[in-house]
A and B are shown apart, each in its own frame.
Chain A
Amino acid sequence: MSTPPGTYLDTASSEPLHPAARAVLDQALERGYADPRRLHGDARSARLLLDNAREATAQALGVRPDEVSFTPSGTHAVHLGVLGLVAGQARQGDRLVASAVEHSAVMHAGQWHAARGGTFETVPVDEVGRVRLDALDAATPTVLCLQSANHEVGTLQPVSDVAATSGAPLFMDACGSAGRLPLPDGWAAAAASAHKWGGPAGVGVLLVRKGVRWRNPFPGDDRVDERTTGMENVPAALAAAAALQAVVADRDEVNARQAALVDRLRAGLARIPDTQVVGDPADRLPHLLTCSFLYVDGEAIVSELDRRGFAVASGSACTASTLEPSHVLAAMGALTHGNLRISLARETPAAEVDRLLEVLPEIVRRIREDAGL
């Protein structure tokens, strides 16, 4: 069965390639094939592209070029950022503390640290998913992990406030917000992922502040950049940088438009009976909204929406790769079943948001009816 061209509302998982990235990628593939470490002309050409990518990325994110490293994924950048800070503070302690709603990449890094004899603990969040400052104060971390914004529910975290009062170096997972919002201040290391802002997949960005104690936690390499291993994907890094610049350039306009549509979605969803809209209503990412429908099977609703041409994600266990429900929703005390995460594309028209709000109440009603309610 073929699916008609639909409405893609899963940009928080992966944004379609930005036109600016596509144009640059084509050119860079022609010129960026060589190993940037070599001493011949082809290598110099690749090195130039890599340096350009680094500089453009640094400028767009408001950091120094020598604070930018390209990694094979956002996940790998997270692992390097978290565990590199831990390795850098080994003489101070081994206590890694993270908010309970961090991305699984942070949680996996924490478990990896714990499996090697370190301590890993999470601190609770409130009902909108924001980290509880009183709990953070009590946690006395050696290294602290706090995301810029939650990837599932959109709530922004008070990174700058936490960094200002915490003595521990802070790792910030910025994958949810990088490009869309300026980076908050105060972090020691941070990570971002290009395919979340319209760059190609396979490009992560690790940021390590100048002067921060960071040590490679994994086997090293002899690259241009001592923080990375393996040959950089030079054309993809340049394309990612081009997309980032383009996204930053028009984010004020795009964010305002998306935030208005998210407000419209929120109001519409609130009219569906027994629906929990989760996450902070105001202090949030502009492009995504998450809700849970009581008594509704997450897989059923995602499939029904797919049949009607809507691509959305769900944090419910029955739709996830594991049998566990979303640890983010669980930590917030929200319903974990019947969950939908709707994330808008740059060009999502208001008419498609309205069409979604037209079909959803009937889908939810029918699934509940089929369940005997």
Chain B
Amino acid sequence: MNADLELDCRGMICPRPVIELARHVEDVPPGGVVAVVADDAAAAYDVPAWCRMRGHEYVGSDHAEDGVARYLVRRTAPPGR
């Protein structure tokens, strides 16, 4: 899936990938997709949990070219969350 913005969180440990996601989700237009590329195991659970807490849509996961997991989030919540 194509993302409007890809955040390279390789090598970051929890909760850093989620912090990066929170910082940059509003860099895409409403309805846009942010991809979080993270090798930290907690991201698999914390990205969806963050989406539920913040009202964004968790689209699912795939893999970056190097095989690292990539978590996709659609910006659906109003600004300022």
Q: A residues bordering B, Cβ < 8 Å? A: 274, 276, 294-298, 316-318, 323-325, 329-330, 333-338, 371-373
A296-B16 Cα distance, complex, nearest whole Å: 9
B19 touches A333 (CB 8 A): no
A323 touches B22 (CB 8 A): no
Q: How large is the interface on B (under 10, 10 to 19, 20 to 34, 35 or more residues)?
A: 10 to 19
Least Cβ distance of B8 to chain A in Å? 17
A274 touches B48 (CB 8 A): no
Pick the contact of A318: B13, B44, B45, B49 (CB < 8 A): B13
A-B contacts, CB under 8 A, total: 63
Q: Which residues of A contact B46 (CB under 8 A)?
A: 325, 335-337
B19 touches A330 (CB 8 A): no
B41 at the A interface (CB under 8 A): yes
Q: Which residues of A contact B18 (CB under 8 A)?
A: 294-295, 337
A298-B18 Cα distance, complex, nearest whole Å: 14
B64 at the A interface (CB under 8 A): no
A337 touches B14 (CB 8 A): yes
Using a CB-CB cutoff of 8 Å, which residues 10-29 of chain B contact chain A?
13-16, 18-19, 22-23
Q: Which residues of A contact B49 (CB under 8 A)?
A: 276, 333-336
A298-B13 Cα distance, complex, nearest whole Å: 11
Q: What are 16 of the A-B contact pairs (CB < 8 Å)?
A: A294-B18, A294-B53, A295-B22, A297-B14, A297-B15, A317-B40, A318-B14, A323-B41, A325-B45, A329-B45, A330-B45, A333-B45, A334-B49, A335-B45, A337-B42, A372-B19
